[in-house]
Structure 1
Amino acid sequence: MPIVLTSLPQVSAGLAHIFTTLLSSCYVGSIYASKEARLQFSSNNLRIQAGHIRNKERDERWRDDPDVIRARLVAVSLATLTCCMIIFCLFWYLVGGEAKFISLAIRETLTHLGLRFNDVSIYPYLVTPLLFLGPLYALFLSESLPFQRSWSFNKDVFPIFFSVKGLRNYIIAPITEEVVFRACILTVYHLSHATRNKMIFLSPLSFGAAHLHHAWDTYNRYGRSSAALKRAVVSTLFQFTYTSIFGFYCSYLFIRTSSVFPPIVAHIFCNIMGVPQPGFEIRQSPNRKWPIVFAYLAGIVAFTFTLGPWTHMEGSLYWK
């Protein structure tokens, strides 16, 4: 007779914080675990013009070097599997820790991580494109949408799906980051009975903090000067803010739908679109200034009104 689980023991808030630190450290630390994945910079004194990236020297290893990217893709993929195993071990312990409970622990792990293809409709996947109505309209004006005149397979598809940098930016990073920083971490906080507001607005701070290590890369690439330090601090603070806000949104999607797939798709879409640049787009099409402004405003309004209704899923594990 199959075992039916009606409730799980509660995890303390302190233990949830420990697990969050462990999961985040496992993911970020994985890219420094091997020599192939670590960055390497020259210690030579450098004199370059402020605001310019210096030339890469021999024997240096930069973030966008293909061999570094490959090593890091392997590292974060293994780290993500490890994080999922940590969650499985936690559930196995909570349900009894005996061999007969392994299948039950697997089921609870897949359900809580949102890795099951449940009854999520198409609507949660459409909310993010609505927010980007302005940039999408600007792409339409420049005839850069798929199958328009300025769109091409080699320029717009190959770099995303068939290059090592595209694989990192648009496939592996969004998938692994959402599984770890959304599914795994929110699962732990859910088990601690954290409130929805804490899960949405506090847990993503670990996602933002996970990007702080990019400051060292920026500081070295821009010459290790006071100007480079200022640039590293400013860019890192901006990235922390942007990724944290984006984390709020993806956490909301995950909690509303009990599925990790809407956040993954939103993450991929946002990475492809990049940060909106209305000023640049208006300069590109000055005779369409007000239609572009209207498209941006319409997208924000549509996003605001559809975010709640379109992400509502009956029987959501997290949103009750």
Structure 2
Amino acid sequence: MEVAFTGDSVIDGGDGGGVSKSLAVIACTAMAILYVAILYAPTLILRLPPPDSFQSHLIRRFICAAISSVASLIACSLILPIQWGKSHLSGVYGIRLDHIWQAVVFPLTLTSLMYAGTFILKLLLLLDSGQEDGGNGRSLSLDSIKNVVHEFIESVSSMASDISAWRNFFVAPLTEELVFRACMIPLLLCGGFNTYTVVFLCPISFSLAHLNHLLEYAQRSGSWLKALTIVGFQVGYTVIFGSYASFLFVRTG
């Protein structure tokens, strides 16, 4: 059986799929466990002192996430029966130059629709502000537009220097997509799972990886009920969004 993504196949499954279902599941489970467990390795295994600041805490976690992502990429390349002569290794992970614009434009456009309501609301508020200025005898001048642009640039600059923004908008999405989509989906497809099973199986690992926050939220809030509510919402949301992201990867990667 040959497992093919959109475009030319770079994985040759052979007659038996190349990878057994049990091996694919074990590999995906190990990647998910490694992604979470390595975050606690510096203090529990390496016996390093606790970080002295929130920034150093996140930087340490960035390094751990990068190590687990690279390890998953290497393990995936060793397990999958890759036809090295047909395409580059990046093609296995959904990065191929033959349709790079489809893989970028379509997912970004569809995902941006999820936040279209927020953008429209901001635009309406801006228009209302302009109408109020007009009612007060002031026009929406070029200076006011420049002020809006200046505030936007300042907000982007402040985010660039915010370590939490780097975690939320860069490190976490990149490493999660590499491990839970780019590595796991090819393994499961090559293991013989059908597309619909993969689309709903990967998000389960993705969502369960967020259970490690349960103890943190419980200690922070002092209430297990509140912690369970927050983590339960995260698990439910990540299952839904993970299914959507997995579907996009299968169709465009």
For this structure pair, what is the TM-score category when the shorter chain's length is used for normalisation? 0.7 to 0.9
Q: Which has the higher contact order (CA 8 A, sep 6+)?
A: 2
Partner of 1:116: 96
Flag the 1:148–1:234 CA change in 2: closer, same or farther, 3 A: farther
Q: Is the 8 A contact 1:36 1:67 kept in 2?
A: no
Residue in structure 1 matching 2:244, options 237, 249, 266:
249
Alpha-carbon distance in 2 for matches of 1:37, 1:143: 52
Partner of 1:239: 234
Q: Does 1:229 align with 2:209?
A: no
TM-score, length-normalised on structure 2? Answer: 0.77
Aligned positions, number: 219
Partner of 2:78: 89
**Counterpart amino acid of residue 153 in structure 2:** F
Residue in structure 2 matching 1:16, options 3, 24, 45:
24
Instruction: State the shift of 1:69 in Å.
Output: 0.3
CA deviations 1:264-308 (Å, max 9, x no partner) are xxxxxxxxxxxxxxxxxxxxxxxxxxxxxxxxxxxxxxxxxxxxx
Q: Unpaired runs of 5+ in structure 2?
A: 1-8, 128-144
Matches of residues 64-213 of structure 1 in structure 2 within 5 Å?
Answer: 65-91=54-80, 94=81, 104=84, 107=87, 109-119=89-99, 120-121=101-102, 122-143=105-126, 149=148, 151-154=151-154, 156-213=155-212
Q: Unpaired runs of 5+ in structure 1?
A: 39-58, 96-100, 259-320
Alpha-carbon distance in 2 for matches of 1:14, 1:157: 46
Identity fraction in percent:
26
Alpha-carbon distance in 1 for matches of 2:79, 2:214: 34
SS at match of 1:194: coil
TM-score, length-normalised on structure 1? Answer: 0.62
Partner of 1:27: 35
**Counterpart amino acid of residue 69 in structure 1:** L
**Counterpart amino acid of residue 231 in structure 1:** K
Alpha-carbon distance in 1 for matches of 2:114, 2:231: 24
